Amino acid sequence: MSQEQSSSGAVTARVVIVGAGFGGLATAKALAGSEVAVTLIDQHNYHLFVPLLYQVATAALSPADIAEPIRHILSGAPNVNVVMGRVTGIDQGARQVLLADGSGIAYDRLVIATGSTSTYFGHDAWAPHAASLKSLEEARTIRTRVLQAFERAERTQDPAERARLMTIVVVGGGPTGVEMAGSIAELAHHALARDFRHIDPTTARVILVEAGPRLLTAFPEALAAYALGSLERLGVSVMTGQAVQDIDAEGVTLAGRVVPAATVIWGAGVRASPAAGWLGVTPDRNGRIPVEPDLSVTGCPDVFALGDTALIRDAAGEPLPGLAQVAQQQGSHLGRALREALTQGKPLPSFTFQNRGNAAIVGRHAAIFDFGRGRRLKGFPAWLLWAAVHVVLLVDFAQRTRVSLQWLWRYLTYRRGARLITAPPAR
Amino acid sequence: MSQEQSSSGAVTARVVIVGAGFGGLATAKALAGSEVAVTLIDQHNYHLFVPLLYQVATAALSPADIAEPIRHILSGAPNVNVVMGRVTGIDQGARQVLLADGSGIAYDRLVIATGSTSTYFGHDAWAPHAASLKSLEEARTIRTRVLQAFERAERTQDPAERARLMTIVVVGGGPTGVEMAGSIAELAHHALARDFRHIDPTTARVILVEAGPRLLTAFPEALAAYALGSLERLGVSVMTGQAVQDIDAEGVTLAGRVVPAATVIWGAGVRASPAAGWLGVTPDRNGRIPVEPDLSVTGCPDVFALGDTALIRDAAGEPLPGLAQVAQQQGSHLGRALREALTQGKPLPSFTFQNRGNAAIVGRHAAIFDFGRGRRLKGFPAWLLWAAVHVVLLVDFAQRTRVSLQWLWRYLTYRRGARLITAPPAR
């Protein structure tokens, strides 16, 4: 504790943040300009605006529209050092974060904000056939597979193969699955409608499969029912109560029957990052690290965890959901708390989540918002609010202008500008 | 000749175009809406605006800003069929274009517009260390290497390695090399200037190497001298009369001495596509197919070649240069000529090139234009003209708006929005 107690400026407390998602970035921003020496580590050089990743996967936006260089976001904060590197472990005895290049970064306080990854519930063999939506690379893979399947359908003489190529199955009825299914239906039924000569993209089948009894279980039933109706109007076939039994190169097996599909998208399972293993703490069954009300890791008072990788419960005892707004609020809270603790010796306050509304977008004019305690919004007003919120949340002004312009353009024309097949064909 | 002589509409003449670059696309557009059945084949699903590729490589634009789906460009032309596929050969006896998937596409007239590739003058071992600038994938590779080198420089403790990481060598003093060198210097010395804590990007070395006695030999000496001065003001070290002897993972060997450089960009050699081999004709030493004044391949009256892959001479006996405007004019000419020949039986007229001005851009406010016959433009007016021409030439309206906006934004702020490290690290 010696380092941060020196207020002479000779020795500065060191805060290391692992992960530059919504939580880690908010922590760094709250510490920007303070006397704390901050190091922010991420395996990528950019902060990714994950809630719009499905728009990259469906050719509506370009990767650079939703990703901003971390260094650039923090260029005005001389006390924040950005490191692009992959963390392999933590040496709590030596208080060091270990990187894949063999180097170590010393900390006085450590913040774990490493997010979550997709899980195939033990069926890792499904992964090559069912891309998930967690990274730019995966978004580009999905975009390539969907567009390439239409290219092949245009060329094939075999009606069964053509039908398989023009079938897209989205697994998982949460917000990711709903957004993907709606957006792919719009891509096929509008943006691509006039571009082929031998196939009719408006006849493409988009199937949304959910194992549970209904879509969007995190939302009230009335909103979920509205989303279901909107998806069906877009031409999406929604199949609830259908557990996926197998996924391979041919398609998806449901109830013992193979549904032939060239493109399968996985939006079903999310699991916390493996950071609990770095700390030697016992995670919950989703891999999350249990934290105290001040976000410190139970049993490790100098280490903090937040966002998708942390397990913290609300007043009702329910775990906080894995949402950008949860991570962002936790990051801002923790950054301010560490700043005051390390420079003024204040105690760490408890974190309280303020629900600013949980949203899902189904398609043009159709979105749902749940603000809790019975306050809801749906349809065109919800869609407008969703669009406004997301434009404002995008980090950079230039991106804001660009994304607004593209959305306006797409809205007026149904066109999509980023329809490039660029990733190497995966199969 | 039976098929196109039937004017009853029962049998339609088939024109197959290989390559959707400037030449092939212009041919297809000139044939759009006619009674000719057109098939346009390309290995990508997009038309690439190659003259702006260096801006993708230097993080100023996104891939989708300079690439447009071919189907979309031609969606209003029901007589044009777009095929995404790789051509492996031509069966002139059966009048078929052979594709990698084993299928064949029959033609009555064939247009070869397959462009050019980079050549390392027999040193193929240099290729992995010196990316060239011919495709979106290569542009992304260069962007990743440059940005990643700065990330590593920020982390290293070794001054020699840091200097190597912060050295970029561009090989070739033609327009591509000049544009790359200027744009990288601007990226390092302005866009990245404030983003690092341990290195100063403004001290990055950008070296432009040219084997000949001066830069831009296709331009008049006064314009080349102006470009040289502009590059030097941007901080580029220009080394003329220096042949590259070796390129490896360490750097570039010049005059027996290794210049340590983490990033090497190849802009030196261009060679025609291997299409001459498909036809069994003897190409010139750059691989180009000799064509007659009507652009038909010498000895193959039903096959035409244009753009970078064709050898045609102007009135002075000089081969026409490998420029977008040459290919585009040839494509428009040939498309019109084939339309009138196949639907009205008219003879094929000779092609004449109209020089609309040859341009190279050095950086902010600095460009050169040569309109031939002594008419020239340089500096800020040339830069404005260059920007205006390129915005207008971009195919799609949405792209035009987007690119204009980004250029305006970058102009005002020196910022670059597409600084993403996404390609897998090549070494």
Q: For residue B82, is pLDDT > 90?
A: yes
pLDDT band at B388 (very low <50, low <70, confident <90, very high): confident
Among the partner residues A71, A192, A197, nearest to B196 by beta-carbon distance: A71
Cα–Cα distance for residue pair A337/A314, rounded to 1 Å: 19
Q: Which residue of B has its CA nearest to A144?
A: B45
pLDDT band at B8 (very low <50, low <70, confident <90, very high): very low
Cα–Cα distance for residue pair A223/A374, rounded to 1 Å: 11
B197–A85: do the CB atoms touch at under 8 Å?
no
Among the partner residues B194, B401, B422, nearest to A63 by beta-carbon distance: B422
Q: For residue B1, is pLDDT > 50?
A: no
pLDDT in tens, A266-289: 999 889 999 999 999 999 999 999
Q: Which residue of A has its CA nearest to B56?
A: A64
- Three-state secondary structure call for residue B230: helix
Strand-by-strand arrangement of the B130-132 sheet = B130-132, B263-266, B167-171, B205-209, B236-239
pLDDT band at A194 (very low <50, low <70, confident <90, very high): confident
DSSP collapsed to 3 states, chain A: CHHHHCCCCCCCCEEEEECCCHHHHHHHHHHCCCCCEEEEEECCCEEECHHHHHHHHCCCCCHHHCEEEHHHHCCCCCCEEEEECCEEEEECCCCEEEECCCCEEECCEEEECCCEEECCCCCHHHHHHEEECCCHHHHHHHHHHHHHHHHHHHHCCCHHHHHHHCEEEEECCCHHHHHHHHHHHHHHHHHCCCCCCCCCHHHCEEEEEECCCCCCCCCCHHHHHHHHHHHHHCCEEEEECCCEEEECCCEEEECCEEEECCEEEECCCEEECCHHHHHCCCCCCCCCEEECCCCEECCEEEEEECHHHEECECCCCCECCCCHHHHHHHHHHHHHHHHHHHHHCCCCCCCCCCCCCEEEEEECCEEEEECCCCCEEECHHHHHHHHHHHHHHCCCHHHHHHHHHHHHHHHHHCCCCCCCCCCCCCC
Do residues A130 and A120 make contact, with C-beta atoms less than 8 angstroms apart? Answer: yes
pLDDT band at A417 (very low <50, low <70, confident <90, very high): low
pLDDT band at B374 (very low <50, low <70, confident <90, very high): confident
- Three-state secondary structure call for residue B276: helix
Cα–Cα distance for residue pair B177/B195, rounded to 1 Å: 26
pLDDT in tens, A139-154: 999 999 999 999 999 9
- Three-state secondary structure call for residue B291: strand
CB under 8 Å to A249, separation ≥6 — which residues? Answer: A129, A427
The pLDDT value given to residue B398: 60
Q: Which helix (H) or strand (E) holds B11?
A: none
Q: Which residue of B has its CA nearest to A422?
A: B137
CA distances from A235 to A48, A186, A204, A223, A264 (A): 30, 9, 9, 19, 17
The pLDDT value given to residue B386: 85
B151–A422: do the CB atoms touch at under 8 Å?
no
Provide the token pair at A169.
Answer: 């199955």
pLDDT in tens, B275-294: 999 999 999 999 999 999 99
Between CA B421 and CA B425, with CA B424 as vertex, the angle to 5 degrees is 80
Q: How far apart are the first and last CA of chain B?
A: 55
Cα–Cα distance for residue pair A249/B140, rounded to 1 Å: 29
Do residues B228 and B220 make contact, with C-beta atoms less than 8 angstroms apart? Answer: no
The pLDDT value given to residue A421: 75
Among the partner residues A69, A148, A402, nearest to B402 by beta-carbon distance: A402
Mean pLDDT calculated for residue range B346-357: 93
Taking contacts as CB-CB distances below 8 angstroms, the residues of chain A near B60 are none
B195–A67: do the CB atoms touch at under 8 Å?
no
Do residues A421 and A148 make contact, with C-beta atoms less than 8 angstroms apart? Answer: yes
Cα–Cα distance for residue pair A391/A361, rounded to 1 Å: 14
Taking contacts as CB-CB distances below 8 angstroms, the residues of chain B near A409 are 398, 401
Q: Count how many residues are written for chain A.
A: 427
Percentage of chain A with pLDDT > 70?
90
The pLDDT value given to residue B2: 36
pLDDT in tens, A102-156: 999 999 999 999 999 999 999 999 999 999 999 999 999 999 999 999 999 999 9
Q: Which helix (H) or strand (E) holds B85?
A: none
Rounded to a whole number, what is the distance in Å from the CA of A62 to chain B's nearest CA? 6
Do residues B102 and B56 make contact, with C-beta atoms less than 8 angstroms apart? Answer: no
B83–A155: do the CB atoms touch at under 8 Å?
yes
Pairing, β B366-370 against β B376-378: antiparallel
Taking contacts as CB-CB distances below 8 angstroms, the residues of chain B near A63 are 62, 420, 422
A84–B396: do the CB atoms touch at under 8 Å?
no
Mean pLDDT calculated for residue range B23-34: 97
Catalytic residue among A179, A210, A250, A292: A179
The pLDDT value given to residue B5: 39
Q: How far apart are the first and last CA of chain A?
A: 55
- Three-state secondary structure call for residue B81: strand
Can you say whether the dihedral through the CA atoms of A259, A263, A264, A265 is positive or negative? negative
- With 0-12 / 13-18 / 19 or more C-beta atoms within 10 angstroms meaning exposed / middle / buried, residue A297 is buried
Taking contacts as CB-CB distances below 8 angstroms, the residues of chain A near B72 are 195, 415, 419
The pLDDT value given to residue B373: 82
Mean pLDDT calculated for residue range A187-201: 89
Can you say whether the dihedral through the CA atoms of B409, B412, B413, B416 is positive or negative? positive
Mutation target to probe the A interface, by most A beta carbons within 10 A, among B56, B80, B197 is: B197
Higher pLDDT pick, B397 / B183: B183
Mean pLDDT calculated for residue range B197-225: 95
Do residues B358 and B323 make contact, with C-beta atoms less than 8 angstroms apart? Answer: yes
Q: For residue B178, is pLDDT > 80?
A: yes
Cα–Cα distance for residue pair B286/B274, rounded to 1 Å: 10
pLDDT band at A62 (very low <50, low <70, confident <90, very high): confident
Do residues A68 and A399 make contact, with C-beta atoms less than 8 angstroms apart? Answer: yes
pLDDT band at B92 (very low <50, low <70, confident <90, very high): very high
The pLDDT value given to residue B167: 97
Identity (one letter) of the amino acid at A4? E
Provide the token pair at A384.
Answer: 């407008």
pLDDT in tens, A296-347: 999 999 999 999 999 999 888 999 999 999 999 999 999 999 999 999 999 9
The pLDDT value given to residue A5: 39
Rounded to a whole number, what is the distance in Å from the CA of B403 to chain A's nearest CA? 10
Among the partner residues A63, A396, A420, nearest to B46 by beta-carbon distance: A420
B401–A422: do the CB atoms touch at under 8 Å?
no
Cα–Cα distance for residue pair A386/A367, rounded to 1 Å: 7
Bridge partner list, B89: B98
B45–A421: do the CB atoms touch at under 8 Å?
yes
Rounded to a whole number, what is the distance in Å from the CA of A185 to chain B's nearest CA? 18
Other C-beta atoms lying within 10 Å of the C-beta of residue B198:
11
Based on the residue annotation, tell me whether A154 is a catalytic residue of this protein: no
Tokens 């993403």 correspond to: B420
Cα–Cα distance for residue pair A112/A41, rounded to 1 Å: 10
Among the partner residues A75, A402, A413, nearest to B405 by beta-carbon distance: A402
Mean pLDDT calculated for residue range A374-403: 78
- Phi and psi of A239, rounded to 5°? -120, 105
- With 0-12 / 13-18 / 19 or more C-beta atoms within 10 angstroms meaning exposed / middle / buried, residue A199 is buried
Taking contacts as CB-CB distances below 8 angstroms, the residues of chain B near A200 are none
CA atoms within 13 A on the CB side of B182: 23
B69–A419: do the CB atoms touch at under 8 Å?
yes
Q: For residue B394, is pLDDT > 80?
A: no
Higher pLDDT pick, A132 / A372: A132
All domains in chain A, ordered by first residue: 2-118+271-344 (3.50.50.60), 124-268 (3.50.50.100)
Q: Which helix (H) or strand (E) holds B58?
A: none
Rounded to a whole number, what is the distance in Å from the CA of A365 to chain B's nearest CA? 22
Q: Identify the weakest region by mean pLDDT among A77-86, A175-184, B379-388.
A: B379-388
This prediction has a pTM of 0.88
Q: Which residue of A has its CA nearest to B105?
A: A155
- Three-state secondary structure call for residue B125: helix
Other C-beta atoms lying within 10 Å of the C-beta of residue A412:
9
CA distances from B272 to A151, A161, A332, B89, B381 (A): 27, 37, 57, 16, 33
The pLDDT value given to residue A407: 67
B406–A402: do the CB atoms touch at under 8 Å?
yes
B420–A136: do the CB atoms touch at under 8 Å?
yes
Bridge partner list, B112: B18, B305
A45–B147: do the CB atoms touch at under 8 Å?
yes
Catalytic residue among B4, B68, B138, B179: B179
A415–B85: do the CB atoms touch at under 8 Å?
no
Mutation target to probe the A interface, by most A beta carbons within 10 A, among B58, B195, B198, B396 is: B195
Rounded to a whole number, what is the distance in Å from the CA of B79 to chain A's nearest CA? 9
Do residues B120 and B271 make contact, with C-beta atoms less than 8 angstroms apart? Answer: no
Q: For residue A8, is pLDDT > 80?
A: no
Taking contacts as CB-CB distances below 8 angstroms, the residues of chain B near A418 are 64
Can you say whether the dihedral through the CA atoms of B242, B245, B247, B253 is positive or negative? negative
Mean pLDDT calculated for residue range B376-393: 85
Percentage of chain B with pLDDT > 70?
90
The pLDDT value given to residue A10: 44
pLDDT band at B396 (very low <50, low <70, confident <90, very high): low
Cα–Cα distance for residue pair B119/A44, rounded to 1 Å: 33
Does residue A311 come out as left (phi exceeding 0), alpha (psi in the -120 to 50 range) or beta?
A: beta
Cα–Cα distance for residue pair B184/B205, rounded to 1 Å: 10
Q: Which residue of A has its CA nearest to B99?
A: A155
Rounded to a whole number, what is the distance in Å from the CA of A87 to chain B's nearest CA? 14
The pLDDT value given to residue B399: 65
Taking contacts as CB-CB distances below 8 angstroms, the residues of chain A near B415 are 72, 398
**Average confidence score pLDDT of chain B:** 90
Taking contacts as CB-CB distances below 8 angstroms, the residues of chain A near B197 are 78, 81-82
Mean pLDDT calculated for residue range A230-246: 96
CB under 8 Å to B117, separation ≥6 — which residues? Answer: B134, B270, B271, B272, B273
